[in-house]
Structure 1
Amino acid sequence: MSRINVPAVDTATGATAEVYAHIKKAAGSVPNTYAAIGALNPGALKVMLQADIVLAAGSLSKQDIETIRLAVSATTGCDYCEAAHSLLGKMAGLKPDALKQIRAGEPTGEARRDALVQFVRKLVSTRGTVSEADFAAITHAGYTDAQLVDISLAIAGITFTNVFNRINDTTLDFPAVH
């Protein structure tokens, strides 16, 4: 059970009800993490959703975005986001073996995806400026300067939900991964 008590989604009013309505229209239901964030700060949830719109219109594929979200979530240890983005990654076309390999930080056999996973995991787990070798590896894999901005945005967004879910111990409403 989540640590933070959140009112039922169907009792929301005002700005929270509005943002929930947009989520329900797009996804059919409001995931527990969005319900908690929206109940406490609907503006924060709106910013997250706007970032998702910007990413979707950006230069990365859905598979790349889900790869980033899954790699970050596995690196930070957010079981909620690992579960959510394993399902969303599957829906984006990532194969079950690739999802497992991304979570484990193991090679998938796709050089471009593997470079992305390594780059993202290094960004999340180290400090300081990215080395010339790491920069060269991601650009050699074919990622452009504009895509580096989108990679950064994807990392920022998922880091927010990772941190919140780790604080809240958000109850899973996605199939757990093992």
Structure 2
Amino acid sequence: DRERIALTVAARHGCGYCTAAHSAIGNMVGLTEAQIHDARRGGSNDTQVDSLLRFVHRILETKGHVEDADLESFRSAGYSDAAVAEVVAHIGLNVLTNFFNSVAETEIDFPRVEALAS
């Protein structure tokens, strides 16, 4: 799930370096091209993963000010309070690396990925 979170966050922020890096790492950890594409779009055909990525989007959209209904929806998909904390931590880490690599204009040294169609 870490790579899916990273892909969702990178796509949201338009970080080309992080999108390329986490697409490559996603492949290394066994994600299919379709799963990587879905994570970049912030969704999944798997209901539990979809719940995770929708929760990630809500956290990003609300800058962390999610509603009780968002938390309840996430928990009802089988996630614990510990998972909530872990998701927030992963988002924070990925926002930091997205911003750092964007500001630094880090050269992409992973296979480049095409931008998603709007």
TM-score w.r.t. length of structure 2? 0.90
RMSD: 1.2
- 2:19 paired with 1:82: yes
CA contact (8 A) 1:75 1:125 kept: no
The size of the alignment, in residue pairs, is: 114
CA contact (8 A) 1:89 1:99 kept: yes
Superposed displacement of residue 95, structure 1: 1.1
Query: Which structure: larger Rg?
Result: 1
How far apart, in 2, do the equivalents of 1:138 and 1:128 lie? Answer: 14
- Superposed, 1:97-176 pairs within 5 Å as 97-105=34-42, 107-127=43-63, 129-176=65-112
TM-score w.r.t. length of structure 1? 0.61
* Structure 2 match to 1:13: none
CA contact (8 A) 1:65 1:154 kept: yes
Superposed displacement of residue 153, structure 1: 1.2
How far apart, in 2, do the equivalents of 1:127 and 1:81 lie? Answer: 20
- 2:28 paired with 1:91: yes
- 2:2 paired with 1:65: yes
One-letter code of the match for 1:149?
A
Unaligned runs of 5+ in 2: none
**Higher-RCO chain (CA-CA 8 Å, sequence separation at least 6):** 2
Percent of residue pairs bearing the same amino acid type: 39
| Cα deviation digits, residues 51-92 of structure 1 (max 9, x gap) | xxxxxxxxxxxxx11111111111111110011011111212
Superposed displacement of residue 128, structure 1: 5.5
How far apart, in 1, do the equivalents of 2:30 and 2:79 lie? Answer: 20
CA contact (8 A) 1:68 1:117 kept: yes
In structure 2, relative to structure 1, the CA distance for the partners of 1:160 and 1:125 (3 Å cut) is same
How far apart, in 1, do the equivalents of 2:84 and 2:29 lie? Answer: 20
State the SS of the aligned residue for 2:78. Answer: coil
